[in-house]
Every structure is written in structure tokens, then in C-alpha cells.
Amino acid sequence: MEYRYENWTSYKQDVKLKDGRNQIIYFFTRWKLKRGKPCDLPNGYTVIVNERTRLSYLKEKVDGDISHLPSQ
């Protein structure tokens, strides 16, 4: 199942870092991509919108308390 925020869809992609390790990255896009797969939000994260750029990004919840985050 994919997570949608307004007209943005969350994706994840497994990438290989320069030191040889693999890491999953999460990102939002408006377009359907060949790379990566649509995904749900990772556990413990919430969506935040940068007020200046209006771009969506994930922020880790602190002990399950999100009262310090801006309202959506």
C-alpha cells in the first residue's frame, strides 16, 4: 500500500553507498517512477512540510510525541 500526501506519493529505494553498505531511502514524488517502489510511511515517522519550499519530508517522532511539530 502506498502513502499519499496531497498529490505526493511516498517511495522507497534500496541504494548502495560508496562504502559498500546498502541503505533504504524514502522520498516523495508526484510522478510514477521506474526506480523505487511506492510504500507506506515507515513506523515512527510523520510527514512535515517545509514552510519556505513547500516540500514534504519525513521526520522521526520523538517518543511518540509529535506536539513539538508544526500542525498540518
Examine residue 24 and state whether it is found in any structural domain, yes or no. yes
Examine residue 26 and state whether it is found in any structural domain, yes or no. yes
Examine residue 66 and state whether it is found in any structural domain, yes or no. no
What whole-number distance in Å separates Cα of residue 53 and Cα of residue 43? Answer: 25
Higher pLDDT, 30 or 1: 30
| Cα separations in angstroms, 63 against 45, 48, 58, 66, 68 | 11, 17, 16, 8, 11
Examine residue 70 and state whether it is found in any structural domain, yes or no. no
Count the neighbouring beta carbons within 10 Å of the beta carbon of residue 69: 13
Q: Which tens digit of pLDDT belongs to each residue from 15-64?
A: 999 999 999 999 998 898 888 899 998 888 889 889 999 888 889 887 65
Number of domains in the chain: 1
Examine residue 22 and state whether it is found in any structural domain, yes or no. yes
| Enclosing domain of residue 40 | 4-60
Examine residue 71 and state whether it is found in any structural domain, yes or no. no
Model-wide pTM > 0.95: no
Examine residue 56 and state whether it is found in any structural domain, yes or no. yes
